[in-house]
Structure 1
Amino acid sequence: MTNTPTGETMVLHLLRGAVPERADELTKLWREHGHEIMVAPSAKGARMEATSKHIIFSPKTIDFFWLFGFSAWRAVELYSPALVLGVLTGDALDSVISRDEDFRHLEQEYKRRLGTAKSLLDVDDTTEIEWPADIPMPTEQRESLSSVEQMATFDLVAIAVAFAFLHEFKHVQVRAEEKKLKIKEEDRQPANEEEMACDTWAREYIMSKAGAYAKDHGHSYQQVAQKRAMAVALAAVIIHALTPQSEHWGSENYPSIGQRLATLIAGDNLPDDSPFWFLTGCLLIGLMRLDGRRLDYKEATFRNFVMKLLSEMQ
């Protein structure tokens, strides 16, 4: 990730790094479709989209993934005490939060961070906002980061960006298949259904051969699968931030944000004690609190909390 992307080379490097066990397959698939990367000038909003021949994105959109991803991950340190106490005591999350005298101030700071990240959508260029002093600027050099925590977040954000490009890559494949089969525009799959299909394909592409990577690199399947699942969950939160409020309940062009979150945050049959459920629970609590939603839920496990929150968002 960088402020000066290098088009196709940069994107392929990112995708191959996110799913290295599929690197050769991915390159072959890319060449078969013969499409190109176009780097668009940065402007207000965010741009990442596909046509029949191109994937188009702006450098500022990558900066947004980075800034919002690093900011949103602070939800873990903010909401984890309440989530842990809620599970241990059986108290509702709202009740646990109300007893923490310092929580309101800490949450205000968290919301301020996310507000700074979202302000990036309101300007033409990244240089127009005041970048938080404790969040590194986007870089391709993982080793240049100053802590293990920053490097771990780098990995998650990189996979989240790769997910977004894979989603767009699937759109390109759909258009190519339609052209091959001479499918008329009026006979296409509805746009909102295609969005869900592209989400599902991108997620499965990242997850389905995690076991092969784990075996070749001396990791357990669970270690690799939960890291990638966490990154996809982070991508879902960033997509939520990029989706206009008016589209949250769905439209002809997009599924509801609740449906997308439920599709992307599925856990891949990870066990109840996987850190994935705990970390994802914190991210979802953050979304609910940002929307001013009540959290009067009592669940016995982190997994149950995630499933409950997802059901409430749909």
Structure 2
Amino acid sequence: MQDDARSDDEIQLAARHLFEGVVPERSAELIALWKQYQPKFHLLSDDGPDGMFVMAAGRYRDVAFNHRALRAFWLAAFIAWEGYLRVHEVATNGSADFDRFDDMVNLFARILAEEDPSSVPLPQGVSEPGHYTDAKQSPQERAAAELATFATGWAFLHEIRHIKHQQEGTGAAPDDPVEKHHEEELSCDEYATTFILDGVDQYAQTENVDSEKVRQKRELGIYFAQFAMTLIGAGYWDASDTHPAMQKRIDATIKLMGGSGTRMSDAVAHAAFAALWRKWPDAPGPFRAS
């Protein structure tokens, strides 16, 4: 890990706040998790020796990431939301202008490639990561920002499960068969998904809100995390030595969520990916016909 990585108290507190914001009803479990596994978060530079895009777990407790990764997950949610809006427009009006969506996808690729991702200005209507506009003033921007937070939380929970695997001795070793590596990745997806969803009813009861609406919103955040990973791995969606094919990961997550293709979260996610299929017909996605 690079020498100039930041792992000060501010970084640790920001990580804790992310998890507590995504699953506030599980605060006691998060405290217990921190005590037992003692994860430590490290903010790396965007052009260091660890690579351009960093979000990984290792050394039994370390979770490394950089601003590029955070910026990517954030923008991806706004792109997914834009795709949904345009496909919905097609369904209601018969046509839509996808120029903004296409421009956002192209800008996403620039953020992944530029030495300084913050030098790439975000599109109009996309706030900086972590900034939330007033829902009454800009409901669409606020919706995308909240879903981006769930997507980012899902990604970090995935890495937490890697830490647990390492400490429990259940992780894949470098020389293990490909299947073992794939199994671990799918288990990390499962952990992140269930951690976000299992407390839905508890949260809804505490806040006196509709449980199904809470579930649909959280599921959509998980879908948007997978939309982000699809953009990040553009053109490289097949299985590798370390990761299952992206379509397999999406299908497995849908099965966990009980997706049927008819619920609100399923429909919005399918529309977002459908916008992407215009550009990349071979891209994976939810409820993709085989």
**TM (normalized to structure 2)?**
0.85
Gaps of 5+ in 1: 86-95, 295-304
Task: Give me the whole-angstrom Cα distance separating, in 1, the residues matched to 2:31 and 2:191.
Answer: 17
Q: For this pair of structures, how many residues does the alignment match? A: 277
- Residues 1:277 and 2:266 are matched in the alignment: yes
Task: Give me the whole-angstrom Cα distance separating, in 2, the residues matched to 1:20 and 1:5.
Answer: 21
**SS at 1:39 equivalent:** strand
**SS at 2:184 equivalent:** helix
Match of 2:4 in 1: none
**SS at 1:254 equivalent:** coil
Match of 1:170 in 2: 161
Task: Give me the whole-angstrom Cα distance separating, in 2, the residues matched to 1:67 and 1:33.
Answer: 31
Task: Give me the whole-angstrom Cα distance separating, in 2, the residues matched to 1:285 and 1:260.
Answer: 18
Residue type matched to 1:212 in 2?
A: Q
Change in 2 beyond 3 A, CA 1:288/1:266: farther
- Residues 1:292 and 2:288 are matched in the alignment: no
Paired residues for 1:208-223 under 5 Å: 208-223=198-213
Change in 2 beyond 3 A, CA 1:183/1:60: closer
Residue type matched to 2:189 in 1?
A: D
Determine if contact 1:267/1:276 at 8 Å carries over to the other structure. Answer: no
Which of 58, 79, 84 is the equivalent residue of 1:71?
79
Instruction: State the structure with more CA Rg.
Output: 1
Task: Give me the whole-angstrom Cα distance separating, in 1, the residues matched to 2:135 and 2:211.
Answer: 28
Match of 2:40 in 1: 36
Change in 2 beyond 3 A, CA 1:183/1:18: closer
Determine if contact 2:55/2:65 at 8 Å carries over to the other structure. Answer: yes
Residue type matched to 2:280 in 1?
A: D
The answer to which structure has the higher helix fraction is 1
- Residues 1:196 and 2:196 are matched in the alignment: no
Residue type matched to 1:230 in 2?
A: L
Out of 38-47 and 7-16, give the one that drifted further. 38-47
Paired residues for 1:77-116 under 5 Å: 77-83=85-91, 100=95, 103=96, 106-116=97-107
Match of 2:56 in 1: 49
Match of 2:123 in 1: 132
Task: Give me the whole-angstrom Cα distance separating, in 2, the residues matched to 1:232 and 1:196.
Answer: 14
Match of 1:90 in 2: none
Out of 127-136 and 162-171, give the one that drifted further. 127-136
Change in 2 beyond 3 A, CA 1:281/1:187: closer
Residue 244 of structure 1 and its aligned partner are, at CA, apart by: 4.8
Residue 133 of structure 1 and its aligned partner are, at CA, apart by: 2.5
Determine if contact 1:191/1:253 at 8 Å carries over to the other structure. Answer: yes
Residue 272 of structure 1 and its aligned partner are, at CA, apart by: 6.8
Counting aligned pairs with the same residue, the percent is: 20
Gaps of 5+ in 2: 1-7
Out of 147-156 and 158-167, give the one that drifted further. 147-156
Match of 1:238 in 2: 228
Task: Give me the whole-angstrom Cα distance separating, in 2, the residues matched to 1:195 and 1:47.
Answer: 16
**TM (normalized to structure 1)?**
0.79
Alpha-carbon displacement from aligned partner over 1:40-74 (angstroms, at most 9, x marks no partner) = 11126311000012000002211111122212210
Determine if contact 1:163/1:202 at 8 Å carries over to the other structure. Answer: yes
